[in-house]
Amino acid sequence: MNTAKNYYESDLEALLSEIREIINNPDKERASELCENIHYVDIVEALDDFEDDEIKSFIKLLEFEDIAGILENSWEEMQLLISSFFTNEELISIFSYMNNADIADFLGVMPTYRRKEILKFMKASDSNILKLILSFDEESAGGIMTTEYIALKEHLSVKAALTKIKEIAPQTEIIEYLFITDNHHRLKGIVDLRKLLVAPETAILSELYEEFPFFVYATDDQEDASILITKYDLDILPVVNKNMAILGIITSDEIMHVIDQEYSEDILVMSGVNKYEEFDSNFFESFKNRIPWLSINMITAFIASSVVGLFSSTIETVVALSAAMPIVAGMGGNAGNQTLSIVLTSLARGEISLKEDWKLVFKEIGMGMLNGTIVGIVTGTVLAIKYSNPFLSVIMIASMILNMIVAGVVGFLIPLILDHINIDPAVSSSIMLTAFTDTCGFFIFLGLSTLFLPKLI
């Protein structure tokens, strides 16, 4: 049993040396002791530095319980490698130390033919549960739920309920909360174990449970579950089907993983990178993932440059404009990104929507006017002194105000509109914002400069 003791990266070399020594001088007892004292996460990270045959030599020295712990804390490639060391029968024995959600995740990355073979070898009851979880999208509530919870019929007495709990608790992940159902397995409410222990033995569960208003459907996105659990500070969240029959539960621990995953994905897609790309991804995979977004960026850059081309004669007349116009576009982009980040964060938490909060766009207009005025005065003063032209300062202030208003409005509305039409706002918002602020920034600044060209000469 791994005791998850503290372990620090500074000791990685010592861990690598220890594993290498165990591989070179096979010792099952020493390998078991290592797993008892070092967290499985650290062991998995260390194993990544070894060759496949060395990993096999080490894994084969471990008890099934420790192998299960390593599988639960491994990434997909490592899971597939380790699974190749064992027969289907051996893997099923290893599964006895894993919860159903982790087994389903593991089976989900395996080749289809082997997954079917393993499910065929398993007991019908276990196989049906795993097939149920695997039937849902991996990023849905059903895909991340665990079926290791305790559900009791509402007509049971406290005495009968406690007897049943003693029977099934050893194989159950969550025992602190007991879900009460009717004869059709429909969720009625929840009772915590403490309340059950102090209740009279003759009391009926239907008299003890409290209604639990929070739940998600199995087909709902995992983000919906994440929002509910974080917003209402829940420890567990039931997953039900359309008939309100409970299928499983999602724990707050699982949601922490989901939040980390969703955050990482949003950061990647906002930068135009495929959400599955890693720092050590295959060279050509990285190229294939990145070039589409770079191509789109190139198109928006051409649009912005075409706007500049419309005012080429003005720029030739007043060369100082070529040095000033990137400031307008750049500051607009920065201001827009501030608004965009706030809106995307609020959307992720379920705190904002286009229908209810569109009026807040007027706040962004006000912010654009105020920030544009302050930044415009500073930059305008610097340009007026540098080029000895006070009117250039006036145009800079006006341009900065107008472009920051555009940036605030676009940064606020674009993610809300995309979310309203069921398009992931993290994917497209950033590139659309850049296109708007660059194009509008150049057009506003050079347009005003052309309009008042006699004042600048």
Q: What CATH number is attached to the domain comprising 422?
A: 1.10.357.20
- Of all residues in the chain, the percent with pLDDT exceeding 70 is 95
Structure tokens at 429: 């918002």
2 lies in some domain: no
Residue 122's pLDDT is 85
Q: Report the amino acid identity of residue 423.
A: I
Q: Which residues pair with 237 in a beta bridge?
A: 250
Which domain covers residue 248, as residue numbers? Answer: 150-268
Burial of 192 (0-12, 13-18, 19+ CB in 10 A): middle
With cut-offs at 50, 70 and 90, classify the pLDDT of residue 370: very high
Sign, Cα dihedral of 85, 87, 88, 94? negative
In a shared domain, residues 258 and 341:
no
The last residue of one of the domains, among 240, 268, 296, is 268
In a shared domain, residues 24 and 80:
yes
CATH number at residue 17: 1.25.60.10
Give the integer Cα–Cα distance in Å for 209 and 214.
15
With cut-offs at 50, 70 and 90, classify the pLDDT of residue 412: very high
In a shared domain, residues 37 and 60:
yes
- Summarize the confidence of residues 209-222 as an average pLDDT: 92
Residue 275 confidence (pLDDT) above 70: no
116 lies in some domain: yes
User: Which residues have C-beta within 8 Å of that of residue 456, sequence separation ≥ 6?
Assistant: 317, 318, 320, 321, 389, 391, 392, 395, 449
- How many structural domains are present in the chain? 3
Residue 371's pLDDT is 95
CB 88 within 8 A of CB 117: yes
Q: Which of 207-211, 286-290, 396-400 has the highest mean pLDDT?
A: 396-400
- Summarize the confidence of residues 187-196 as an average pLDDT: 91
Residue 4 confidence (pLDDT) above 60: no
Give the integer Cα–Cα distance in Å for 264 and 34.
32
- Of all residues in the chain, the percent with pLDDT exceeding 90 is 46
In a shared domain, residues 296 and 405:
yes
Residue 280 confidence (pLDDT) above 70: no
CB 367 within 8 A of CB 374: no
With cut-offs at 50, 70 and 90, classify the pLDDT of residue 277: low
Residue 406's pLDDT is 95
- Summarize the confidence of residues 427-456 as an average pLDDT: 89
User: How do beta strands 216-217 and 236-240 pair?
Assistant: parallel
Digit-coded pLDDT (tens) for 114-173: 888 888 888 887 788 788 888 888 889 998 888 888 899 999 999 999 999 888 887 777
Residue 218's pLDDT is 93
CB 403 within 8 A of CB 444: yes
Residue 373's pLDDT is 95
In a shared domain, residues 380 and 433:
yes
Residue 402's pLDDT is 95
Structure tokens at 352: 């904002």
Phi, psi (5° rounding) for residue 245? -80, 130
165 lies in some domain: yes
In a shared domain, residues 240 and 384:
no
Digit-coded pLDDT (tens) for 315-360: 988 888 988 999 999 999 999 999 998 998 888 777 888 888 999 9
CATH number at residue 263: 3.10.580.10
**DSSP string covering 403-448, please?**
HHHHHHHHHHHHHHHHHHTT--HHHHHHHHHHHHHHHHHHHHHHHH
1 lies in some domain: no
Q: Which residues pair with 17 in a beta bridge?
A: none
Residue 8 confidence (pLDDT) above 50: no
- Summarize the confidence of residues 373-377 as an average pLDDT: 95
Residue 414's pLDDT is 93
Mean pLDDT over the full length of the chain: 87
With cut-offs at 50, 70 and 90, classify the pLDDT of residue 5: very low
Residue 51 confidence (pLDDT) above 60: yes
In a shared domain, residues 115 and 159:
no
With cut-offs at 50, 70 and 90, classify the pLDDT of residue 68: very high
Residue 112's pLDDT is 85
Which is more confidently placed, 6 or 442? Answer: 442
Confirm whether pTM is higher than 0.75. no
Residue 173's pLDDT is 74
Residue 138's pLDDT is 83
In a shared domain, residues 172 and 225:
yes
